[in-house]
Chains A and B, each alone.
Chain A
Amino acid sequence: MVTGLKVKPYKPPTTWGRIIRNLGMILPVAVFAVLIFTAIFADVVSPYPYDETSLPERRMPPAWVEGGTTAHLLGTDTLGRDILSRAIYGARVSLSVSLLAIAITAVIGTTLGIFSGYTGGRIDAFIMRVVDVALSFPPLLVAMLLAVSLGPGFFTVVFALSVLGWAGYARIIRGESLRVRNSDFVSQAVINGVSTPRIMLRHIFPNILNILIIGVTLNVGTMILAESAMSYLGIGIPPPMPSWGSMVADGRNDLDRAWWISTFPGILIGLVVLSGNFLGDWLRDKMDPRLRQV
């Protein structure tokens, strides 16, 4: 008989407690909500068109710096274009390219991963060798190769991001489906004569969905970074359409006169990537505590 044991009475968490504990989800979701909203309604939200130049207003500093005006909150660039407006339109480019690439890579990678893990044997070994090579090939180089051969443009960028991007998904999903394949309910389905495609779709896929969702979320940051690096090098979306990466490049030669041109787009990229990574970590802790990182 244990005596003197003190039991803390259960206190239901307060609303504030819940909010604070889930800040890792709330803040990133808020960031994405604002960004997606402004990206979709850029034409309405943005104070100026992205390509409206105004030579008298060249290199205006942000509003809070001496010489800045509230007409251009984040200042203007070398051609007198409003940086805030360009950042809003840049969100449209960066997000649409990244999300499209994620959709493509996730579908291809998941299909191959399930197929590879479930089939096993030589086919599996072969697919995983290809994955090894794809994962260790530098994406920027592939992007350059494609930019040379196809010419820069929206679909070249999406293609360049997708050509190697599927491999990461294939590797994770393959590991998971290998694990699921050995469970009793799959054996049961095989015994019952369920067709292989159906087993993959109805029995394996639902069981790897958690991992896939986590993977997709964590992939947002990687894709945004890759896209911005491509536009920074000038092999992304061609001008005058702004992308955050190319906006950083625009200010490169004006560092001594106008630090704000390069600074703000970079902060935005960091904010989005950080949000994606935090949201991914939060989801992983909630959905799959096995994978929790220390």
Chain B
Amino acid sequence: MTRFIVIRLFQTIIALFGIVVIVFFMVRISGNPILFMVSPLSTQSEVEVLQKQLGLDKSYPEQFWIYLTGLAQGDFGQSFVKRIPVTEMLGDALPNTLKLGIPAFVLGTILAIALGVLGATRRDSFFDNGVKFLAILGQALPGFWLAIMAVLIFSVTWQLLPAAGMGGIEYYILPVGTMMFFMLPGMMRLIRSTMLDVLDSEYIKLARIKGLPERTVIWKHALRNAVISPLTVAGLMLAGLINGSVITEYIFNWPGMGRLAVESTFGRDFPVVQAIAILVAIMVLGMNFLVDILYAYVDPQIRYERT
């Protein structure tokens, strides 16, 4: 097991390094970022001064080395636009993203499990078909559009909830709902179909023959085995949540990482976009690493097979 973890950790670090290299050079393909920052009227010497200030006058390998050593110390460089350390901007934005992301994830998971299990145990009932229909519709409609429709109904027409911004609990309802929507339909369908498979298995029959109450059979024996399935797509779900937070924060003007990413994209603030991409890469790779370890822990076959 230790050997497996070490090998996986090593692979993860190599992958991360690869992504850092790709990201670093990708933001530089288009040439000199300075040209987007200065007015067309500025003189050559002005451009040079600015270049020197931002460290862009050095060669690419040199710049990369400086960036890499900074990165190792947790320094993402300076924002081109705001001229403050990127780390500071990320530090302000990250808690706000988590304030939406964590409730959305927790509520979404609970709802997905509840609806999935209830659907599977009442297969083809009115309830099951209704939930299935909503899930299919939910997967087809764009999240940003549904969010706007929610604003149209709850904020504009009924004037119940604020349309954007941050504040008391009422400011959380629409954004959290929107974020949740990015994972709920898929996860619910997955849990429902795994649950149907599980309910068909021998050990569930045994549990029933033993005379266990139906509630214990479903919510304990069956559910425990069915909730493992979303783990296989944990990476995909994380990607969905990150996508979701970009769109949600942009729509509701929520000062988190997602909005920061969009704003920096428009402002061509390379260091910020670069930093967010690398941070996300760390999250994604870390998630994959954890899931792998968890799997190897659960299933010894993997430990020996896939090293």
Binding site for B on A (CB under 8 A): 125, 129, 132-133, 135-142, 144-151, 221, 225, 228-229, 232-235, 245, 248-249, 251-252, 255-256, 259, 262-263, 265-266, 269-270, 273-274, 277, 293-294
Contacts and interface: CB of A to CB of B under 8 A. Distances in A.
A27 B49 CA distance: 63
B206 interface: no
Contacts of B137: 270, 274
Interface string B140-158: 1111111011011001100
B156 A255 contact: yes
A149 B30 contact: yes
12 contacts: A135-B239, A136-B287, A140-B242, A140-B246, A142-B277, A145-B26, A149-B29, A233-B247, A248-B148, A251-B148, A252-B148, A266-B145
Query: 5 closest A-B pairs (Cβ-Cβ)?
Result: A136-B235, A266-B145, A138-B242, A273-B140, A274-B140
Contacts of B239: 135-139
A269 B142 contact: yes
Given A138-B243, A266-B149, A270-B140, 16 more contacts: A133-B15, A133-B284, A133-B285, A136-B288, A137-B284, A144-B262, A145-B277, A149-B30, A228-B144, A233-B247, A259-B152, A262-B148, A262-B149, A269-B142, A270-B145, A273-B142
Interface string B262-288: 101110101001101100110011011
Contacts of A125: 306
B30 A151 contact: yes
A61 to B, nearest CB: 14
A234 B142 contact: no
B136 A266 contact: no
B247 A269 contact: no
B284 A136 contact: yes
A270 B151 contact: no
Nearest to B143: A229
Given A139-B243, A146-B26, A233 B148 contact: no
B293 to A, nearest CB: 14
Best-buried of B11, B19, B284, B285 by chain A (most CB within 10 Å): B284
Interface string B203-242: 0000000000000000000000000000000011011101
Contacts of B155: 255
A229 B273 contact: no
A290 to B, nearest CB: 14
B27 interface: yes
A148 B276 contact: no
A245 B29 contact: no
A231 to B, nearest CB: 10
Give the one of A146, A151, A255, A263 with max B CB within 10 A.
Answer: A255
B247 A229 contact: yes
B116 to A, nearest CB: 12
A129 B11 contact: yes
Contacts of A228: 142, 144
A251 B145 CA distance: 11
A221 B281 CA distance: 26
Contacts of A136: 235-236, 238-239, 284, 287-288
A150 B243 contact: no
Contacts of A293: 193
Nearest to A269: B142
B30 A150 contact: yes
Given A140-B243, A150-B29, A274-B137, A232 B235 contact: no
B140 A232 contact: no
